[in-house]
Amino acid sequence: MNTVQDPDIVALYRKIHENPKYLDVPNEMTFVESPLHTAASEGRTGLALEILRLKPSLGKKLNLDGLSPLHLALGNGHTNTVKRLVKHDPDLIRVPGREGITLLHYTVEKEEIDLLIYFLLLCPLSIFDLTVRDETVVHIAVRNENLRAFKVLFGWARKTNNTTVFRWRNGEGNNLMHLAALTNQPTVLKSLIKYVHVNKKNLGGKTALDILKPEHVEARKILISAGAKQGSSLVHDATSCENYLKSVGTTEDFFIKFGAYMEFGLPGNMRNAILVVVVLAATAAFQDLITTPISTNSTSTKLNKKNLRLNELDMIYNSIAFGLAMGTSIFLFINCVINLTAYLDDTSLEDHTNERANKR
């Protein structure tokens, strides 16, 4: 080979010649200090990439300290090594290390904003990963008062329609609104008003207004203007859900259940077949309807009265078939609109039940 070779890679293959099982790690070994851990922690990018190419499974192995090779590289400041490795395998961003900390969580704790954006672009779903404390990366940003990271994550979630993550609770039942109140962050509170209910209670039965200290005037004004109340003045959440579950089903509930069945209850092929049959039925009925002859000649009417009667019945049946097919199509369209609207508005079931309960 005439190409310039990395000395580390040459040494790697020399070891493989000496021991063909040099990179082999049994699957049952959850914790291991692999050659990839060593290469990544030392920032030897070329060697780490070659090992990852030969043994992709090593990228997800944890060492005895509960850290993956990329956790070690990031902890030692080898940012370029991390970028090169996740470019080849973006799923490595979601590998949980000790306490469930992923690379995305780590970037927020270390305030590595450029790397945070890079990870989000490569692996958008990593924003939903949880630590053992049930914290997402957004929880960590707010808890650490990292406003710059929060703004990046807030903008990313809005632009990718992932704002449901704003309503998630951590292990203590605190959502982002509670954490922002606890750390007195008026800017964060103002941003979340549209996406997080201001009167949600944590496991201690406290709302954001209960948590906020009296001297935090600006934050208090933001919450009160949004309708925030003390937890003691609110109906218990369980009552709201109980009332909703006991209530008589509405038309909206029917559309939602039918949409869920069409989306998850039917196989994709069956769902497509139904739509094809509906379209074909509507097309055939309409074509037959407009081509059915109606004779107005008196002589023809006398001679073919029986045929005319059959034609009239055919028109009636085709009209009914066409109407049913069009009705089904309209029904499916309305259902799609309702589901799309619910998706874009990001209205959670929990908020929906509270709204229904308040109307009572």
3-class secondary-structure state, position 233? helix
Q: What is this structure's pTM?
A: 0.69
Q: How far apart are CA 196 and CA 31, in angstroms?
A: 40
**Are 69 and 40 in contact, with CB atoms under 8 Å apart?**
yes
Q: What is the pLDDT of residues 188-198, one digit of tens each?
A: 999 999 999 99
**Where is average pLDDT lowest: 25-39, 291-305, 307-321, 325-339?**
291-305
**Where is average pLDDT lowest: 47-61, 179-193, 318-332?**
318-332
Q: Which residues pair with 340 in a beta bridge?
A: none
pLDDT of residue 348: 47
Phi, psi of 41 (to 5 degrees): -65, -25
Phi, psi of 271 (to 5 degrees): -65, -45
Q: How far apart are CA 318 and CA 312, in angstroms?
A: 10
Name all domains of the chain by residue range, CATH numbers in brackets.
1-95 (1.25.40.20), 251-359 (no CATH)
Q: At what angle do helices 268-291 and 305-345 cross, to 10 degrees?
A: 140
pLDDT of residue 25: 86
Tokens of 357: 């309960």
Distance of CA 87 to the CA centre of its chain: 22
pLDDT at 285 over 80: no
pLDDT at 199 over 60: yes
